[in-house]
Structure formats: structure tokens, C-alpha cells
Structure 1
Amino acid sequence: MSDQQTFSSFSEFYPYYLEEHRDVTCRRLHFVGSLLVLLVAISALGTGKLAWLLILPVIGYGFAWVGHFKYEKNRPATFKHPIYSLMGDWVMFRDMLTGRIPF
């Protein structure tokens, strides 16, 4: 599938998203980044240090982009499909957590 492809729904996009995450190390980096985003967000809200919320994109995208550029050798779907890609991150996180996707 081409990066130029358009999608009419998230359910149409998600198989493409998974194709872009075949490398297990890339998926693991996504998982770690997403988990850290959750932990930092909870910590920021729990302690009232809301400025920590500003680093969430750096944490989440930092881990994911290392996975794409170093291991997957592709451009992150975020560049062409930002909303669906963000949704895909969390669906893939859930799918890895529940064992539907190996990591």
C-alpha cells in the first residue's frame, strides 16, 4: 500500500498501520513510548505538575520514530495520517497488551 493512499475509516486504515509496524523492535519501542506517556500523564495529573504534560509528544513520538527510522526503515504514518496514526498507536498498544499482537 502506498503512503499516498486515502482511507475512509479507521478500520480501513488499521491494516495499513500494522503493515508499517512489522518489526518487533519497532512495536516494542511504540509500546514503551505509549506506556511512558500514560505513566507521565498520570504522574503529572496526580502531582499537579502539569508542565510535564508538555513532554508527552516528545516521549511518545520519540520512541516511535526511533523504531521507524532505525528498525522499520520507513516513514512514520504520522506524517501522512496524523489522526488515524495516533488512534493506531493506542489500538496497537491495547492489542499488544492483550496478546493479539506479539511483542
Structure 2
Amino acid sequence: MIDENKIFSNLEYIEAMNQHGASPNLDEYWNEIVNMLSEDLKKTKEFFNKCTEHQIWYMAGYFEDISYNFKSDEFIKILEELEKKYPNIDIKQDIQWAKDAIEE
């Protein structure tokens, strides 16, 4: 199950820590987000479609890990749709890494 509030809360915490120059171990927050977004492809797509442009940009670093878990071309299509939906953010490299993760 995707707990949207938990994901958004984790993202806000990670972003706040990064903005203030803190470098705490954020693996717990990262893994929680990746695990939730790796459970159900349809629900992940629905979640991404609810996100703002900034949230998608900020989560782009998670694409590779999620893609590795799904190992699905459908997930790549979802990312490519997001890239078209939000042309002002550069997530091309993140999508390439997600593609590469399928091949690992």
C-alpha cells in the first residue's frame, strides 16, 4: 500500500535536511519510499500522477531503485509520460538509469 502522506512527509524531511546542509543517514527514509513505490505498478502510476512537478523532480533519484525492483518496461513508460508532462524538469538521465537497472 502506498501511504502518500508518509512519502510526502519523508520527501519534505529529506529536502529540509539537504537544504540545511545536514547529511544524516537518510537510508531509512529513502528505502521506505522505494519500497512503497515498488509494490504495485498501477498504484505507483496513480501516485506519480498526483505529484507536483517539483515532487517528481525530487523523486527522480528514486527511479533507478524502483525500476530495479519492478524490472518492467511499463515503469519506464510511466517515467517517459512524466517527462512529457513536465518538460521543465530534466529527468532524462534518471530515466536512463532506470532503463539500465532493468538490464542488471
- Fold shared, TM-score > 0.5 on shorter chain: no
| TM-score (norm: length of structure 2) | 0.32
| TM-score (norm: length of structure 1) | 0.32
Larger radius of gyration: 1
